[in-house]
Structure 1
Amino acid sequence: MARIPSKEEILAWISENPTQTSKRDIARAFGIKGQDRIDLKRLLKELEAEGHLEKRKKTYRDPDKLPPVSILEVSEITPDGDIFADPLEWQGEGDKPRVLYVAKQGDPALKKGDRLLCRMTEVDGGDHDYEARLIRRIGENARRILGIYRKGHEGGRIIPVDKGSDKEWMVPEGAVNGATDGELVEAKQSGPKGQMGLPRAQIVARLGDPTAPRAVSLIAIHQHGIPDEFPDEVIAEADKMKPAGLKGREDLRHLPLITIDPHDARDHDDAVYAHPDDNPKNPGGFVIWVAIADVAHYVTPGSALDREARNRGNSSYFPDRVVPMLPDRLSGDLCSLHEGVPRAVLAARIVIDAQGEKKSHSFIRGLMQSHASLNYGEVQQAQDGSPNDKVAPFMDEVITPLYDAYFALRRAREARQPLDLDLPERKIVLSDEGKVESVRFAERFDAHRLIEEMMVLANVAAAEELNRLGRPLLYRVHEEPSQEKLEALREVAQASGFTLAKGQVLQTRHLNQLLSQAEGSEFDELINMSTLRSMTQAYYFPQNFGHFGLALKNYAHFTSPIRRYSDLIVHRALISGHNWGTDGLSQDDIDQLEATATHISQTERRSMEAERDTTDRYLAAFLSDRVGNEMTGRIAGVQRFGIFVRLDETGADGLVPVSSIGAEYFRYEEPSQSLVGERSGLELTVGLPVLVRLSEAVPVTGGLMFQLLEVAGKPVKTTGRTPGGKGVRRKPARAGKKSAKTRAKVRRTRK
């Protein structure tokens, strides 16, 4: 008979072995077997009753300590990038322990409210009690719900605004927070997910009328957790700022720098000027000046402005508003290169040859004064021979040399062969009341490309300059496609009658050759979209892996520090590298460079998703009075559950469920991204022209449903089911012989 341990010995074992706390583990540790387990069970029950232990499923633990594996919720992300989380299973009597989340390479970017399952390690000293390492993330802000409140008998329900979400949430009477029927609300989960019936939620914010025009972008802002109000200390800090003077700067006010932006631009952070190079060793060459607002002068490391800018990561742009990275005192005033006003800048002076290749560059911290604020349309009109009164005085000295320099850069671009996708951009035009007036594809002028090429040139120069100086920076990285994605693209190309080179190092020119083969054919859109889908997503990183899409070895974002934190980091690195002042890259900036890169890559994706969701909702609102109309489009995506169709007129995307297409079974062919009818042989693949009927448009979610009428001009029989209805037809299973395992199970059941 084994000796039964004392209560003190059991507690000491549990404390020293936090991962081996089940009754079986304790019994094995003390050599307890057979009937003696009854005595051990009694001791554990007594310890539990006395409050020394808490039973958690089949394990015991000290209630004043966290279990070795715990569920946490991210509660704080410091300006230095440290992530702290609250333990959700804390049962102790004192304050909750402070938990520091320790990320490892490959962990996802986190934000406040994320829930995590983590392995815990108790630590002594410092500003935290435990360190947590990720096992897996439990949803992504799963406890937050944005939806329409519907009043009921006792409380009500919330209908989520997420596209494709059909789960409603119950709101108890005491958790309504004054919300009225039909109001847009933000709520959080208030009960466990595993309970019977609808999950429960508590309303935490009332956001007003969901049909109001300004609610469209507001939904996306709240849904994606984009900070849209500046803290008081940030506004106060910005309001105290004064315009930078000439001290410590080179005077560039004599240069006829101009800004060229969209006609409705909210800020002006870049100015350009070009002139022929008078160096006889560079015949036909040009000197290009690119001046960028010196945001680093105002947003210094560790300041309240800096902490908030890093937290936001970037500005977010919507058709009716912008959520800026910086307060308007900076973004719309002191850091905006307004016409006729002295403004602090970092300027790149770049020399190119007649073929557009960069020969040299230098950087200057200066003071400029914009000679004109122009827009793309009027500049292009002037270049085409019809200058207006504002542009005419600048034609000979500024506009013509800029275009001549651009034509040289274009020759260099053609030689470099960056990826040349043809993907037109949609533009939503709103009325003064915020309603959609029209949806059209934005015009693309050479004036747009001129600015783009000069910004790319300046970004390359910034990366190369910091490499030369040996300074840390954030690169803009775009890696080549994976072999799996390339093989999928190759199969789509072959199925369309084209070829993509194999057995060699992939370069963008190979993809351009494929795009050129498809240009003008019925497969044009298919190949463009399939090529886009094969690409990896660009991101920021302190190490240089090149930019595949632009076919560049060195690339960093330098030209938009008003709206991108990455560019501010690059500016600070240039300031430090040239000893231009004390407002350069701090040691904290350097220590947190990788964490900053991960964070701002995530905020960039967050903004892109919010902007896309807003566009979808505006398009659904625009089309909501056209339900029942027939429209032309092309298949933009294929999944097992149906096809996505992009309309020709507006570029809006909607779903045709497979359950509504033809009275037959459709087989999903993943390699060719197609659905194939088993009886008719009808093949639905990306890029095919279709005729559809709009059957549903839901502005609050941005969802569109279509009924397929024709494919490539040929009519398609429908099932008569309403698109959006539940259920997908499945192929009837064939009767087959039961396996031996199944037969044995049946025999045991029948005995």
Structure 2
Amino acid sequence: MAKPTTKPKNTSGPKRTRKPSADALPTREQLLEALAEQTDIKGKRDLAKIFGIRGDMRRPFKAMLNELEGEGIITRTRKALRRTAALPHVTVLDIPTDADPDNLHAFPAQWNEEQGEKPRVQVLGGRDARVVPAPGDRILARIDAGEGEPPAYTAKAMKILDKPRRAHIGIVRMDEDGARLVPVDRKQKEMRIPPGDLGDAKDGDLVEVDVKPAGRLMIPRARVTAVIGNPASEGAISLIAIHALEIPYRFPASVIREAEQAEEASLKGREDWRDVPLITIDPHDAKDHDDAVYAELDTDENNAGGHIVTVAIADVAAYVRPGTALDREAYLRGNSVYFPDRVVPMLPERISNELCSLKEGQPRAALAVRMVIGADGKKRSHSFHRILMRSAAGISYQQAQAAIDGTPDDKTGPLLEPILRPLFAAYETMTKARDNRGPLDLDLPERKIILDEKGMVKDIRIPERLEAHRLIEEMMIAANVAAAETLEQKRSPLLYRVHDEPSSEKLQSLRDFLGSLDIAVKKSDNVRTSDFNGILAQARRAGNIDQVSEMVLRSQAQAEYAAENYGHFGLNLDRYAHFTSPIRRYADLIVHRALIRAERFGDDGLSDSEVEKLAGIAQHISATERRAMSAERETSDRLLAQFLSSQIGARFEGRISGVTRSGLFVRLLETGADGFIPASTLGQDYYRYAEDQQAMVGDRTGEKFGLGDPVTVRLLEAAPVAGSLRFELLSEGTRGNPSSSKRTIRRPSRAQALRARRKR
């Protein structure tokens, strides 16, 4: 830092220094040096005087200070600023993915290397800990600085945090002025890439960049640090979401090595079920088969008309044991992620597609549940078994359905009488109990994106929902319930799949909306799943099922994993656990280990250290599930935006899928693509957001555009990198009473406005 040229008259205040140059701000290093040398600096005003900050320089100077404070490099005590010399009492820590699960350590998430090497922090745990983190987690922690220099830091986790997007990802675009970066995050603005900072990147490349403010006004500039690939040429749009959300997609060498060294499980310690004709029913293009089913009439005279249903699930726990590299990587990933152009698996192919895939005719290790179903469809009893099985056949949903409908093929013909008919008969019986239970009857169609050989959208289809699909779903639900019941009976800890009932706020919003449609709903917050099914039944009769289904879906809480049980509202079940997909979900692997421990099936069950960490595991895998859902949704948005980018100006039919103060969200009927119509472009009136109606209502005309309304739109803009579309509204809204519409307007609160912005 430049030394002052004259001694100030008032020696009691901070020393005045000369600006680094006529028009430049001080560097971060100069700011930190001033804070270290002049201990009497009271705040930003003193620092501004030291560096002669005035006029247009005040705003970027303040931004620099806020950035330093946000990174934890400087701290504020009342109005005094100081450089951070030690970790604050509460801070954010990152636990390395290769940390010892039984002796965790962490490092500060933000650290200025000028202060020296990052301090290592010991993370304390134990049975009494309310939050139990694991390798790979980011935590908010309370810090204790022990004796010594440097301090021996220890931390107690307060909360496990979702990791933010740390990487700056974008697409390089060349123009006459050089290179610019088009960020994948819709909220970020484009940046210029100086000529010397482009590296080996070319036009269209997906790159990772460092962002640094430059110049007097601190305009952000991007510097390419890594070229990830070119989605257009490689047909890998999913690369954007994978890197932006930091999804691990390459297995470390140690994990591959363990997978390759794994040996097939033997009959030792297992029941021999190789003669039981279990079959797998999967999508026609499935590469792994982790569940098999079999059913037969119960010959017990005390259960006349009943069935015995068996569900066998690949025994992943036999190959992925606690504390191994395979286990650490599976935990880190939490689940497989499914994109239209690829799958990012939780486990290496050697495990998921070979040893744990229940291939036809191959002996495979499995955990099986044998359920006795009464003639009323209710489960009377069940038992778990660790087995060696051999799949009698692997068929698709379409094959199974065609066979039961009267058109079997060469493969399903021999299976029809001995296997398929008993399976469908057992399913029909089980549906009695399902209908009596009354799970939430939201059967929303899911579109499937079909890609061509270049990885671009070829077609969008709504796959037909077959009874064969429902058969497998019902049997998997029954097996999941049985797993939860057994573990509770054995007083074993487990991970539940839980789904809370809707909050009071969401219920009130739903009531307001349904009131505008003259659909009656009880006023109590003590609602049951059957209440929602009654609402949906009324909507079907009234012909507005689309609007109501959308609002009912929005009123629901998000399902998650938890070590404590509070039931599954959507399925209307008191207890529920995920047991049926351990190849692709870590939660199911934990439940398998718990069953192995509870039933004394072997020494590879749930470990004591895992039992202590179940709460943290639940938080982590709930976060990885949300990350996977975001990645899949964003990739679909980008693929659809790219598919429609050649149809600018075209007209489409759609429905209003969301209403906010800023405008309308519209979902196209044919493709399912979502786009936005700004409120400022609606009609010839001034439109206000009527929250109770989930609509935009015109002040003068009363014209209304509401949730679920059919509309015709024109595509004005498509941004494939961001996955966004902008429409122009061509159709008119419904006409109402202007004065009435004004009375029903309720301006959203600040919290509601913030939530609406976050949804966008």
**Contact kept in structure 1, 2:501 and 2:556, CA below 8 Å:** yes
Q: 2:718 aligns with which of 686, 697, 704?
A: 697
- The alignment yields a C-alpha RMSD, in angstroms, of 3.2
Alignment of 1:92-171 (within 5 A): 94-99=116-121, 120-124=143-147, 129-131=152-154, 141-151=164-174, 156-162=179-185, 164-171=186-193
The answer for the alignment partner of 1:617 in structure 2 is: 638
Structure 1 residues 176 and 23: CA distance shift in structure 2, 3 A: closer
Alignment of 1:96-495 (within 5 A): 96-99=118-121, 120-124=143-147, 129-131=152-154, 141-151=164-174, 156-162=179-185, 164-190=186-212, 196-212=217-233, 214-495=235-516
Name the SS for the 1:401 alignment partner: helix
Structure 1 residues 479 and 125: CA distance shift in structure 2, 3 A: farther
Structure 1 residues 177 and 134: CA distance shift in structure 2, 3 A: farther
**Is it true that 1:632 corresponds to 2:653 in the alignment?**
yes
Q: CA deviation at 1:188?
A: 3.4
The answer for the alignment partner of 2:536 in structure 1 is: 515
The answer for the alignment partner of 2:698 in structure 1 is: 677
Structure 1 residues 600 and 428: CA distance shift in structure 2, 3 A: same
Distance 2:608 2:584 in 1: 23
Q: Which amino acid aligns with 2:278?
A: L
Q: Which amino acid aligns with 2:448?
A: K
**Contact kept in structure 1, 2:97 and 2:332, CA below 8 Å:** no
Structure 1 residues 404 and 298: CA distance shift in structure 2, 3 A: same
**Contact kept in structure 2, 1:98 and 1:128, CA below 8 Å:** no
**Contact kept in structure 2, 1:418 and 1:551, CA below 8 Å:** yes
Q: CA deviation at 1:711?
A: 3.9
Consecutive unaligned residues of structure 2, counting only runs of 5 or more, are 1-11, 13-38, 44-72, 736-746, 748-760
Query: Deviation string for 1:372-425 (max 9, x for gaps)?
Result: 100001111111111111101011111011111111111111100000103101
Q: CA deviation at 1:101?
A: 6.7
Name the SS for the 2:453 alignment partner: coil
Q: CA deviation at 1:86?
A: 2.8
Q: 2:582 aligns with which of 542, 561, 580?
A: 561
**Contact kept in structure 1, 2:237 and 2:635, CA below 8 Å:** yes
**Contact kept in structure 1, 2:546 and 2:708, CA below 8 Å:** yes
Name the SS for the 1:363 alignment partner: strand
Query: Deviation string for 1:444-467 (max 9, x for gaps)?
Result: 000000000000000000000001
Q: Which amino acid aligns with 2:579?
A: F
Distance 1:683 1:667 in 2: 10
Name the SS for the 1:671 alignment partner: helix
Distance 1:520 1:578 in 2: 50
Distance 1:278 1:84 in 2: 59
Query: Deviation string for 1:291-328 (max 9, x for gaps)?
Result: 00000000000000000000000000111111000000
Q: CA deviation at 1:134?
A: 8.6
Distance 1:108 1:641 in 2: 41
Structure 1 residues 136 and 190: CA distance shift in structure 2, 3 A: farther
Name the SS for the 2:299 alignment partner: coil
Name the SS for the 2:277 alignment partner: coil
Distance 1:55 1:553 in 2: 50
**Contact kept in structure 2, 1:76 and 1:83, CA below 8 Å:** no
**Contact kept in structure 1, 2:162 and 2:623, CA below 8 Å:** no
**Contact kept in structure 1, 2:236 and 2:341, CA below 8 Å:** no
Structure 1 residues 341 and 446: CA distance shift in structure 2, 3 A: same
**Contact kept in structure 2, 1:252 and 1:369, CA below 8 Å:** yes
Name the SS for the 1:215 alignment partner: coil
Structure 1 residues 659 and 426: CA distance shift in structure 2, 3 A: same
Q: CA deviation at 1:70?
A: 6.0
Structure 1 residues 106 and 465: CA distance shift in structure 2, 3 A: closer
TM-score for the superposition, normalised by structure 1: 0.82
TM-score for the superposition, normalised by structure 2: 0.81
Query: Deviation string for 1:337-361 (max 9, x for gaps)?
Result: 0000000000000001011101000
The answer for the alignment partner of 2:86 in structure 1 is: 65
**Contact kept in structure 1, 2:307 and 2:375, CA below 8 Å:** yes
Q: CA deviation at 1:143?
A: 4.0
**Contact kept in structure 2, 1:617 and 1:703, CA below 8 Å:** yes
The answer for the alignment partner of 1:583 in structure 2 is: 604
Distance 1:471 1:567 in 2: 15
Name the SS for the 1:692 alignment partner: strand
The answer for the alignment partner of 2:572 in structure 1 is: 551
The answer for the alignment partner of 1:746 in structure 2 is: none
Alignment of 1:527-546 (within 5 A): 527-546=548-567
Q: CA deviation at 1:251?
A: 0.6
Name the SS for the 1:684 alignment partner: strand
Q: Which amino acid aligns with 2:376?
A: Q
Distance 1:106 1:650 in 2: 46
Distance 1:587 1:627 in 2: 59
Of the structure 1 ranges 592-601 and 139-148, higher mean CA displacement relative to structure 2 is found in: 139-148
Distance 2:150 2:288 in 1: 42
**Contact kept in structure 2, 1:143 and 1:188, CA below 8 Å:** no
The answer for the alignment partner of 2:33 in structure 1 is: none
Q: 1:667 aligns with which of 688, 693, 699?
A: 688
Q: CA deviation at 1:223?
A: 1.3
Q: CA deviation at 1:704?
A: 1.1
The answer for the alignment partner of 1:743 in structure 2 is: none
Structure 1 residues 574 and 109: CA distance shift in structure 2, 3 A: closer
Q: CA deviation at 1:593?
A: 0.8
Q: 2:624 aligns with which of 603, 628, 643?
A: 603
Q: CA deviation at 1:102?
A: 7.7
Distance 1:276 1:636 in 2: 47
Distance 2:134 2:182 in 1: 26
Identity over aligned residues, as a percent?
49
Distance 1:277 1:22 in 2: 86
Of the structure 1 ranges 120-129 and 495-504, higher mean CA displacement relative to structure 2 is found in: 120-129
Structure 1 residues 678 and 109: CA distance shift in structure 2, 3 A: farther
**Contact kept in structure 2, 1:315 and 1:322, CA below 8 Å:** yes
Structure 1 residues 109 and 652: CA distance shift in structure 2, 3 A: farther
Consecutive unaligned residues of structure 1, counting only runs of 5 or more, are 5-20, 26-53, 715-730, 732-751
Query: Deviation string for 1:486-516 (max 9, x for gaps)?
Result: 1111111111121122337311111001001
Of the structure 1 ranges 323-332 and 117-126, higher mean CA displacement relative to structure 2 is found in: 117-126
Name the SS for the 2:433 alignment partner: helix
Distance 1:107 1:195 in 2: 45
